[in-house]
Chains A and B, each alone.
Chain A
Amino acid sequence: MAQIFHRSTNVLSRLSIFGFVFILAGIVWIAYIVNRSPYITEVGMAQVQPVPFSHKHHVSGLGLDCRFCHTSVETSAFAGMPPTETCMTCHSQIWSDSPMLEPVRESYRSNQSIEWNRVYQLPGYVYFDHSIHINKGIGCSTCHGRVDQMPLMWRASPMQMEWCLNCHRNVEQYVRPRAAVYQMDYQPPKDQVALGEKLVKEYKVQKLTDCYTCHR
């Protein structure tokens, strides 16, 4: 009976047995890389919105405070999306015939919501509360990045558990004075850890790393 495989294929089969471990490791490595890439985390990917609202213009151009629109961020889990009325506070008179803002005016006339596309979305099994982070001295830009330099919004943080835990474990590296929480261009001082340890005591910040802190 003739041989189906040539002798040389023995090398291939030996190689693949030997290489199996490497191939497996390669697949795991690729999965690891992809899972941390913007394909999955959406970090740095601008979201298209019904109105191309620019935080850059409103925050660094006009100097509006975050809380002018996100009114419930100090007191509630949800930072608050401004109702159309908030837009119209100024845009009843400014750019009031701009076609770009027609969806805003239409929403105000018809009392129908503008359907913005979410930028940050946590899974349903994660509990998150804005107010406690704000009141313990975690700045907006720590998680949301330099919003004042974003013409359209994108995610600045991967919002993966590893990322959450990094801060929950090393909070003294991130905490800042309460007065600077909304300051977009805040730079941590050189002695951040010393300041952080002082603020952790002063604000009674707990290092909450129990599962049930977020998964409740």
Chain B
Amino acid sequence: MALPLLIGVGCRTDMHVQPRYRPMQPSHVFDDGRSARPLIEGTVARGHLRVDELLYTGKVNGKDSEVFPFPITQEILERGQQRFNIYCVPCHDRTGSGNGIIPQRGFRHPPSYHIDRLRQAPVGHFFDVMTNGFGAMYSFASRVSPRDRWAIAAYIRALQLSQQAGLNDVPPAEQHKLLSEGK
């Protein structure tokens, strides 16, 4: 009887519960109860000053940019597709026509990417909307990194092309496949 009792008394949890904060653990030190502290306004981590206006704001001299800040490769398009499918599809749906599941459940319908206004819109516009939100859409800046936002913008361009593509846009070697499937 005494032995297990002694062993039990010997147990301590100092190592188990260590005096340090894990992510998002509450804190009694700060008034708002958070151990994760917000950055003081204007804080810039070394090497992270956002001087590239185009890359971080999607604008050139205050106007939505017509060009991407870096070359768009197949790899970046695929990254854009993957990010689009995570963050945008719930509302904009996989083709970008704006009939995702969230609007079906009562959220305001976003415009289709395939209307003339958005097909003419400079690519920087899409970056700006993702960064700052637009209408009912919240900002995704804290969820999607700037490079990923550009990759998504590139993929939106690809979606827009895909909905306007004609038979002549398909490589000749593939055309007969489509034709035979259509029969």
Contact = CB atoms under 8 A, between A and B. Distances in A.
A71 B83 CA distance: 11
B142 A63 contact: no
B108 A67 contact: no
Interface in B83-125: 85-87, 90, 101-102, 105-108
Contacts of B157: none
Interface residues of B, number: 28
Interface residues of A, number: 27
Contacts of B85: 65
Contacts of B105: 62, 94
Nearest to A27: B4
Given A62-B102, A68-B87, A115-B26, A90 B18 contact: no
Contact of A112 (B4, B18, B32, B143): B32
A78 B22 CA distance: 9
B136 A92 contact: yes
A90 B107 contact: yes
A102 interface: no
B108 A123 contact: no
Contacts of A63: 90, 101
A197 B142 CA distance: 38
B148 to A, nearest CB: 11
Nearest to B144: A71
B86 A92 contact: no
A81 B108 CA distance: 26
A113 B34 contact: yes
A166 interface: no
Interface in B135-149: 136-138, 142-143
B50 interface: no
Contacts of A93: 106-108, 136
Given A62-B90, A78-B23, A113-B33, A94 B138 contact: no
A62 B86 contact: no
A64 B15 contact: no
Contacts, number: 64
Nearest to B34: A113
Contacts of B108: 93
Contacts of B4: 27
Contacts of B18: 124-125
Contacts of A85: 138, 142
B26 A90 contact: no
A68 B138 contact: no
B86 A65 contact: yes
A80 B136 CA distance: 24
A89 B138 contact: yes
A83 B24 CA distance: 11
A123 B101 contact: no
A65 B23 CA distance: 22
B138 A67 contact: no
Given A90-B102, A92-B136, A83 B87 contact: no
B102 A88 contact: no
A83 B142 contact: yes
B138 A125 contact: no
Interface of A: 27, 62-65, 67-68, 71, 77-78, 81, 83, 85-86, 88-90, 92-94, 111-113, 115, 123-125
Given A67-B86, A68-B87, A113-B34, 4 more contacts: A63-B101, A64-B90, A85-B142, A93-B136
